[in-house]
Structure 1
Amino acid sequence: MADPLDLFLAAPPGLEPWLAEELRELGYAPQTTAGGVTVSGTWSDVWRLNLECRGATRVLARIAEFRAFHLAQLDKRARKVAWGDVLRADRPVKIEATCRKSKIYHAGAASERIARAIQEELGAPVSDDAALTLKVRIDDNNVQVSVDTSGEALYKRGHKEWVGKAPLRETMAALLLRAAGFNGKMPVVDPMCGSGTFVLEAAGMAGGWQPGRDRAFAFEHLANFDAGAVSDLRRLDGGTSLHFRGSDRDAGAIRGATANAERADLTQATQFDMAPVSDFAPPEGPPGLVMCNPPYGARIGNRKPLFALYGALGETLKTRFAGWRVGIVTSDGGLAKATGLSLTESAPIAHGSLRVKLYTAQL
């Protein structure tokens, strides 16, 4: 359990390279793997990454690793782990185990052995309702034990109370903005903004606001939690001279997005207006990025009426947004084609039960 730690930061499959890019900007040397990125760090890095990383879904810290070929061996070696270095005897913990290509193939039995070791060696209670989760991965007879230091997924920033139909998670939005070419130094507009996720994430990225500044984390329940050190890392300020705009034809969406911006302390950098796509116009100033997550058949139902909407979007962009970049997220290539834009499509990206693609263009 000594430093350095192996830290795994989860990301939607298909967006791992963009999470790696963010981590390089934060000063780490990431290794990309399926479903996320691994970096080496200390417990201070655990606190920092939860507070500052925009694209990660959660941060896992590996606290033990050993070989085990049967349940008795798993039990014996789990008891040698210095659980008290990380876990507290007075805080419950949840155990989640997975088994793959191993002689230990029963995940439930493996969870029971780990739970018993923690209860009898440390005295900590084990509960399915615990705020703190240990993830045990047994792969090819190699046991890796990691603690989920985030708790609630990191897309829950703590300020977004209003959500619209089929919302996009903040962590995914941050990575999609990167994938579309956003560098924090250009304006971003969204003509179908819904709850304002793209606009708020872009403003936060440009202004340097910490995404985790308004929320709590599971690491606060750890034995080695240093409240003073975390307080020193937490920043509540930020700022940008750029302006970020969203519009939507739904008045409820505009009210909700505006309220979300107020809770995030981003009202000075954002603006939300009710308008159809056909009336959307670029703000004054240099060109930037048009980023949107329009409705599509898999999440709405009937796709036929959407062809006109995508056509109107394409016409608005072609006639009014010369020099701007465009990023459109959809699972429907036919609808993307209906924009009439010369789009480049990404590899598939996991979005819940769907697979979407990012379609980009330079106008």
Structure 2
Amino acid sequence: MKPFEIFCACPPGLELYLQAEALEAGFKGAEITAGGITFFGLWPNVMRANLTLRGASRVLARFAIFRSFNLSQLEKQTRTLDWAALLHAGTFVRVDVTTRKSKIYHAGAAKERIEKAIRERLGQAEPNEDPIKIMVRIEDNMCTFSVDSSGAPLHQRGHKEAVGKAPMRETLAALFLRASGYQGSEPVLDPMCGSGTFPLEAAEIAAGLHPGRSRNFAFERLATFMPERWTDLRSSVPKPIETPHFYGSDRNAGAITNATSNANRAGIEHLCTFTHASISDLMRPDGPPGLVILNPPYGARIGEKKQLFALYGALGTTLKTRFRGWRVAIITTDTSLARTCGLPFSDTSAPIPHGGLKVRLHQTKALH
């Protein structure tokens, strides 16, 4: 089989960091595109991308591309594709179509024609709640067919069950950690840790654990699935980078309970310490300096913004007086809230989509 294009999605504005991760992981030729990265490979590359890439939110395998100018032509060309090589007979498929600058302008009609052609090739399927998703993009009359090889979004690692309000997705946390210069060899602390996403993600990186080790994927239900190759991939455990320690604290005792439970399920409880504490009670851990990273309340999601200025001010005071030598990274929607910390931010990112809002990553160099 010839190599095909593989697309790994991530939030717009963070493609550079996903590209860096993919290149480090050996996905040669990874290039940035809008909302993700692309590279060419075969089905083992698709499986490995799902298993190992922490920043990817979804992996699509682009298996067909052709030009089409009307619905009848689209249906005929869809029917000629080798569906049996991709899908088992009777597979329940959901087709999603987007169309732009094309003579085929009605996405709903295109969806009906494509689904009809697939049914004629594979037979009628019993509907279920977990279909194989075929994504079709029609742009400038060029039709690109992709299969979603991931299934559930990749931030659903499979071992984090306890979450609180406004959680940070694991995939986004991994990209923010990379954007903050974290490479696995320094301690990380989140003083508003919630369910522990940042410390847990940082600990898994340092421990060399595959992010997808505890879950299933849609590609396991495709006709292209290679069980023996998949077993080999899952059993290949990368060497740990370092063994620093990772810390989280929160003024909500329930959050600490959740974070501790999540660490236990992930098998990294020995690398993490979670403490019930307010910002003013936060103390610097023993050992070398590292990275303080947090996703504090914005006001628009959890509380009134006016009430948050005192919180951000207290955070800045604590970090300036007790965390000299540490770098700080804060994710927030409002630059004025970040400035309230009084920290010497040297870098601020472009807006990044997060939970229906736009956030920015504000970073400092090592505090003096």
Q: Distance in 1 between matches of 2:254 and 2:43?
A: 42
Does 2:80 align with 1:77? Answer: no
Aligned pairs (5 A) from 1:86-105: 86-105=86-105
Aligned pairs (5 A) from 1:166-315: 166-235=166-235, 239=240, 240-315=242-317
Q: Distance in 2 between matches of 1:44 and 1:220?
A: 11
C-alpha contact 2:297 2:303 (8 A) present in aligned 1: no
Aligned to 1:349: 352
Unaligned runs of 5+ in 2: none
TM-superposed deviation, 1:241 = 1.7
Q: Distance in 1 between matches of 2:219 and 2:124?
A: 16
Cα gap change, 1:144/1:120 in structure 2, threshold over 3 Å: closer, same or farther? same
Unaligned runs of 5+ in 1: none
- The AA in structure 2 aligned to 1:20 is Q
Aligned to 2:44: 44
Q: Specify the SS of the correspondent of 1:193.
A: coil
C-alpha contact 1:296 1:330 (8 A) present in aligned 2: yes
C-alpha contact 1:93 1:126 (8 A) present in aligned 2: no
Cα gap change, 1:325/1:124 in structure 2, threshold over 3 Å: closer, same or farther? farther
Aligned pairs (5 A) from 1:120-199: 120-123=120-123, 125=125, 127=127, 129-199=129-199
TM-superposed deviation, 1:75 = 0.9
Return 84-93 or 66-75, whichever deviates more: 84-93
C-alpha contact 1:209 1:235 (8 A) present in aligned 2: no
Structure 1 ranges of 4+ moved more than 3 A: 126-130, 235-240
Q: Specify the SS of the correspondent of 2:159.
A: coil
TM-superposed deviation, 1:201 = 0.4
Q: Specify the SS of the correspondent of 1:200.
A: helix
TM-superposed deviation, 1:87 = 0.8
Return 325-334 or 116-125, whichever deviates more: 116-125
Cα gap change, 1:347/1:332 in structure 2, threshold over 3 Å: closer, same or farther? same
- The AA in structure 2 aligned to 1:356 is V
Cα gap change, 1:335/1:235 in structure 2, threshold over 3 Å: closer, same or farther? farther
Cα gap change, 1:336/1:321 in structure 2, threshold over 3 Å: closer, same or farther? same
C-alpha contact 1:133 1:147 (8 A) present in aligned 2: yes
TM-superposed deviation, 1:126 = 7.6
C-alpha RMSD over aligned residues: 1.3
C-alpha contact 1:94 1:134 (8 A) present in aligned 2: yes
Q: Specify the SS of the correspondent of 1:271.
A: strand
Aligned to 2:321: 319
- The AA in structure 2 aligned to 1:27 is G
Q: Specify the SS of the correspondent of 1:219.
A: helix
TM-superposed deviation, 1:260 = 0.5
- TM-score, normalising length from structure 1? 0.97
Q: Distance in 1 between matches of 2:303 and 2:71?
A: 48
Cα deviation code 1:35-76 (max 9, x no counterpart): 111111110011111010000000000011100000011011
TM-superposed deviation, 1:124 = 5.4
Cα deviation code 1:100-141 (max 9, x no counterpart): 111001111111111111111222538473431000110110
Return 119-128 or 186-195, whichever deviates more: 119-128
Q: Distance in 1 between matches of 2:283 and 2:313?
A: 16
C-alpha contact 1:55 1:172 (8 A) present in aligned 2: yes
Aligned to 1:3: 2
Aligned to 2:364: 361
C-alpha contact 1:94 1:130 (8 A) present in aligned 2: no
- TM-score, normalising length from structure 2? 0.96
Cα gap change, 1:108/1:17 in structure 2, threshold over 3 Å: closer, same or farther? same
- The AA in structure 2 aligned to 1:196 is G
Cα deviation code 1:272-326 (max 9, x no counterpart): 0101111112222211100100111111241111111101111111111111111
TM-superposed deviation, 1:15 = 0.9
The number of residue pairs the alignment matches comes to: 362
Q: Distance in 2 between matches of 1:85 and 1:172?
A: 34
Q: Distance in 2 between matches of 1:144 and 1:162?
A: 38
